[in-house]
Amino acid sequence: MKCPRCQIALIATTQDHIAISKCSKCDGVWLHQEDLNTLIHFHEKNFSVDLIQKTLKLAHAGLTDAEKADTPACPQCNAPMAAMNYNYSSGIIINTCLSHHGLWLDHDELIEAEASMDYWDEQKKAHDKEWRELVDKRAPATPTSQGLNRIGSLLSGLFSKNTRL
């Protein structure tokens, strides 16, 4: 397989016990889609505050026109890949093969994705109880949920009457 950026052969290697292919020139990484989550959640690195802050500054919603137009070819099928915003709004734009062959992450995007997820995992741990309490306060037992239960009871009664006939 060739690097979609440099067109040189990718080198098969492992990172955190996951098989990846890496470009020796641009440091881009090709990996299977299901392996990205594993790498991000089970990496063996600690990230500096500077890297985490840099990564958080990247965060935005949506893709720029330039990012949408950047369609490197999939190393496996040679079809144009689509740009996607990792984790919906991280600002870390990675490329994905539309035939699900894999993902291309340019230089440092894997590290940035790991740092971003570390930050949000820590935020979840730190604020989980507070967030749950807030959701519980804002989600009262409304007439809507009671109404759904009543509708369910009525329908259940109708169906049980119909089955007795």
Residue 162 or 77, more confident = 77
Residue 39 maps to a domain: yes
Asked if the structure places residue 164 within a domain, the reply is no
Model pTM? 0.69
Domain that holds residue 106: 11-136
pLDDT in tens, 47-102: 677 776 766 666 665 677 888 888 999 999 999 999 988 888 888 899 999 999 99
- The alpha-helical segments, DSSP class H, found in the chain are 33-41, 49-58, 65-69, 109-138, 143-164
Residue 145 forms part of a structural domain? no
Question: What is the tens place of the pLDDT at every residue in 122-161?
Answer: 888 888 888 888 888 876 555 555 555 555 555 555 554 4
Q: 81 is written with which tokens?
A: 């890949």
Total number of domains constituting the chain: 1
